[in-house]
Amino acid sequence: MIVCSCAVITDKDIEEALVEIMSQPDAPLPTPGVVYQHLSKKMVCCGCAPLAVSTIYEKIDQLAECGVICPYAGACAQGRLLKGARPPAHRLIARRPITPRRMARPTLAPVKPELENA
């Protein structure tokens, strides 16, 4: 899944960056800025920030469950991010990842009986 179309970053890129970042002895907080800098990319329009944050949290949870990163390191990073976040950001951090919505197909209106015979 493409997370940032401006910098062409996928969720797989974020996952690989998180493994490298979180395996460092004194790992920095895995914020979108840290992850993008690790990937040698920059945010252009910042429209991807909400999806990047939720993807980072989802990937940290998945990597901790699989045993790729230490579960305590992942929980500690999430706790430190929540501690420093302002109240509006709490909703963004706690929010589940954004899933693409399916477009509803337009429904055809039933034909009126008097128009069928015309």
Highest-confidence segment of 5-9, 64-68, 81-85, 113-117: 5-9
**Given pLDDT bands bounded at 50, 70 and 90, which one contains residue 29?**
confident
Share of the chain above pLDDT 90, in %: 19
Instruction: Give the predicted TM-score (pTM) of the model.
Output: 0.66
Is the pLDDT score of 35 beyond 90? yes
Average pLDDT over residues 37-65: 88
Residue 9 Cα distances to 2, 19, 51, angstroms: 6, 16, 11
CA dist 4 and 67 (Å) reads: 27
Long-range contacts of 28-34 (CB under 8 A, 24+ apart): 29/77, 29/80, 29/81, 30/56, 30/60, 30/77, 31/56, 31/81, 32/56
pLDDT of the residue at 107:
53
Residue 22 near residue 34, CB atoms below 8 Å: no
Domain ranges across the chain: 2-98
pLDDT at 10: 93
Q: CB of 52 within 8 A of CB of 42?
A: no
Residue type, 30: P
